[in-house]
Chains A and B, each alone.
Chain A
């Protein structure tokens, strides 16, 4: 388990953050720029000494201000991928990769040079100087360098933020492979919710130096704290499900979510796969009677759990049997339908609205997928 609790004041900014997350796994620190994510990560890495608090990874206690304990950064075995790759300009790519590896000699070997070169596609770059690499290549080298230091914890501080969309797509799959193939706990700092969706197993939402929500992504996706940060348009419940069947003719996959079946576009999916879908609140339709004669493929039965209002609309949280979705509808619609907590409703989801919001569920592939219900 990763256990962090920190209080640190600098000027008029106070970082007062605590979270606990299971290991191994990917903890996403999510929040706006300037909310204290990088400061928190620097404390975990040991680059900044917090005024008060503790940091512990499994059995290793790195910081405990009560015990006056502060393990030096160079002894924590933390791999850190910075926002700006920070490659050493006077070393070749290979020299950069081996810098940490040489100093980690004697430590348990998680991953070797050949493996890293293969995993990150670095073979053609090895002899080059960092000055001659593109942004995406630099980040891959930085990632490889951090990995080869055989870290007990990998810190990724917005590793994709300096990249354009195409380069991001170049690096993201490597991060996913890393998550699925190495049992290294990771902390991903991000202000992009889609990165969090794709990579995280545990989410810590930060705002103005404080942790405002944390937990698995489905639970966090429903919290008001997150609404304030991502804004109403990007808001949506995240549900995890297991692929029950794939219809090769239509290219649709049936996903068991809570008590219902959700059809999503999934030609690449196979039965038993675990899949995560973000259902944008603005795309969800609610009905108080069983709808007929509609084109909508997905009709899930549910019960209204709560109703809250933002500036213009109402946000309805509906329990669909073990999972929950959010629907953003007009206040007039709420009143007309007489929606209230406890009311039974049908939740309508257009299959096409899930396109681009579907991701493989993080986790080690060898974990047995729960049997899909009939």
Chain B
């Protein structure tokens, strides 16, 4: 009897798949860790401050949304490549090399998911009543104090949403990563890159299907977890 075409899905993921999964989680996790604080800072600047060049900064931050990811990867290569100005500086000063490394994959992912994060933080910040910050001011709270005790706690649901969205998008970043750090097993071959490689090889169909299923499950679990967390947060915030 002919074997069912779904049989490959029933087998346990092998070393290659697990490695891709692990790498994806590391890359997405690092990229989120890199960009969380800058995203909050820039979102705060864009919503709460009026300064010359604001529109330009806004456009610059959102550029990765409209540029082809390959272009972003290329730009990173130019800047952070072995001969790029920043790449040379990093290598000389800290011995850090980004090209063809997991760190480089995380950087490319961070740049690509940054606008998603900033956007979520901005929406969250716009939802925080400036009046409450003013009230905190009259009660003697300085800028950092009111940010830590009023603004940040009240925007936490948005911070969470932004983090989850950026993390989920980071798991699947393809174009910028493959352009900047190539497709090296165990170093830069994340889930989408592994899936792409599997499709390129003649007998990789089963592996591709398993990787796709893995991505699907991961995404679903992440979204459900974030929704539950957001609910808990909102309860804690008193709404």
Contact A145 B236 (CB under 8 A): no
Contacting chain A: which of B26-34, B77-85, B138-146, B174-182?
A: B138-146
Number of CB contacts from chain A to chain B under 8 A: 70
> Bound state CA distance, A92 and B132, in angstroms?
15
Residue contact B140 to A149, C-beta cutoff 8 Å: yes
Complex CA–CA separation, A52 to B42 (angstroms): 32
Task: Give chain A interface residues in 8-58, CB to chain B under 8 Å.
Answer: 45-47
B59 interfacial by beta-carbon distance below 8 Å: no
Give the bracket for the number of chain A residues in contact with chain B: 20 to 34
Asked if A275 is an interface residue, CB under 8 A from chain B, the answer is no
Question: Of the candidates A74, A89, A155, which one forms a contact with B239 in the assembled complex, judged by CB atoms under 8 Å apart?
Answer: A89
What are the interface flags for B152-188 relative to A under an 8 Å C-beta threshold, 1 for contact and 0 otherwise? 0110000000000000000000000000000000000
Q: How far is the CA of A186 from the CA of B154 in the complex (A)?
A: 31
* Nearest CB on B from A110, distance (A): 14
Given A89-B237, A90-B153, A129-B238: A82 touches B137 (CB 8 Å cut-off) = no
Give complex CA distance A89, B135 in Å. 12
Q: Is the CB of B140 within 8 A of A47?
A: no
Which A residues are CB-close (under 8 A) to B138? 45-47, 73-74, 76, 78-80, 100, 146, 149, 155
Interface 0/1 of A68-82, CB less than 8 Å to B: 000011111111101
Return chain A residues, CB-CB under 8 Å to B129.
86
Nearest chain B CB to A316's CB is how many angstroms away?
46
Q: A130-B238, A131-B238, A131-B239 are in contact. Are A86 and B135 (CB under 8 A)?
A: yes
- The answer to whether B140 and A74 touch across the interface, beta carbons within 8 angstroms, is yes
What is the 8 Å Cβ interface bit string for chain A, positions 87-114, against chain B (1 contact, 0 not)? 0111000000001100110000000000
Most chain B C-beta atoms within 10 Å of own C-beta, residue among A76, A88, A89? A88
- Shortest CB-to-CB span from A55 to chain B, Å, is 14
**Which secondary structure dominates where chain B touches chain A?**
helix
Say whether B140 contacts A77, CB under 8 Å.
yes
Indicate with 1 or 0, residue by residue over A123-140, a CB within 8 angstroms of chain B CB atoms: 000000111000000000
Residues of A within 8 A of B150 (CB): 88
Nearest CB of chain B from residue A233's CB, rounded to whole Å: 35
Also in contact, A74 and B142, with CB within 8 A (given A88-B132, A88-B150, A89-B154) = yes
A90 touching B137, Cβ below 8 Å: no
A84 close to B (CB within 8 Å): yes
B206 within 8 A of A: no
Residues of A within 8 A of B142 (CB): 72, 74
- A129 → B minimal CB distance (Å): 4
Contact with A along B115-134 (1 / 0, CB 8 A): 00000000000000101101
The number of chain B residues touching the other chain, given as a range, is 20 to 34
Residues of chain A contacted by B153 (CB below 8 angstroms): 90
Given A80-B135, A82-B131, A84-B131, verify A90-B140 contact (CB < 8 Å).
Answer: no
Q: How far is the CA of A149 from the CA of B137 in the complex (A)?
A: 11
Q: Which residue of A lies closest to B142 (CB)?
A: A74
Task: Please report the C-alpha to C-alpha distance between residue A100 and residue B145 in the assembled complex, in whole angstroms.
Answer: 12
Chain B residues in 8 Å Cβ range of A99: 136, 139, 141, 149
Contact partner of B141 (CB less than 8 A), chosen from A76, A86, A103, A130, is A103
Q: Indicate the member of B137, B138, B145, B238 with the most A CB atoms within 10 Å.
A: B138
A74-B141, A100-B139 known; A47+B134 contact, CB < 8 A: yes
What residues on A are CB-neighbors of B131 within 8 Å? 82, 84, 86
Q: Are the CB atoms of A82 and B154 closer together than 8 Å? A: no
Given the contacts A104-B140, A149-B140, A82 and B238 also touching, CB distance less than 8 Å: no
Please determine whether A74 and B137 come into contact, CB atoms closer than 8 angstroms: yes
Q: With both chains docked as a complex, state the minimum distance between the C-beta of B124 and any C-beta of chain A, in angstroms.
A: 14
Residues of A within 8 A of B136 (CB): 88, 99
Residues on B with beta carbons closer than 8 Å to the beta carbon of A145 = 139
State A99–B150 Cα separation when bound (angstroms). Answer: 11
Q: Is the CB of B140 within 8 A of A103?
A: yes
A74 / chain B contacts, CB cutoff of 8 Å: 137-142
Chain B residues closer than 8 Å to A46, beta-carbon distance: 137-138
Cα-based distance from A244 to B76 in the complex (angstroms): 90
B236 pairs with A149, CB closer than 8 A:
no
Min C-beta distance of A156 to chain B, whole Å = 12
CB distance from A90 to the nearest CB of B (A): 5
Bound-state Cα–Cα, A90 to B136, Å: 13
CA distance A130 to B129 in the complex (A): 15
In the bound complex, CA of A78 to CA of B136 (Å): 11
- Cα–Cα, bound, A47→B145 (Å): 16
Among B139, B142, B150, B153, max chain A CB count under 10 A is at: B139
Q: A74-B142, A79-B138, A99-B141 are in contact. List 11 more A-B contacts (CB 8 A).
A: A45-B138, A47-B134, A47-B138, A76-B138, A90-B153, A90-B238, A103-B145, A129-B238, A131-B238, A145-B139, A146-B139
Q: Could you name 11 residue pairs across A and B whose Cβ atoms are closer than 8 Å?
A: A46-B138, A47-B137, A74-B140, A77-B140, A80-B134, A82-B131, A88-B132, A88-B136, A99-B139, A129-B238, A130-B238
Q: Which residues of A contact B (CB under 8 A)?
A: 45-47, 72-80, 82, 84, 86, 88-90, 99-100, 103-104, 129-131, 145-146, 149, 155
Closest 8 CB pairs of A and B: A100-B139, A103-B140, A80-B138, A89-B238, A129-B238, A86-B135, A73-B137, A90-B237
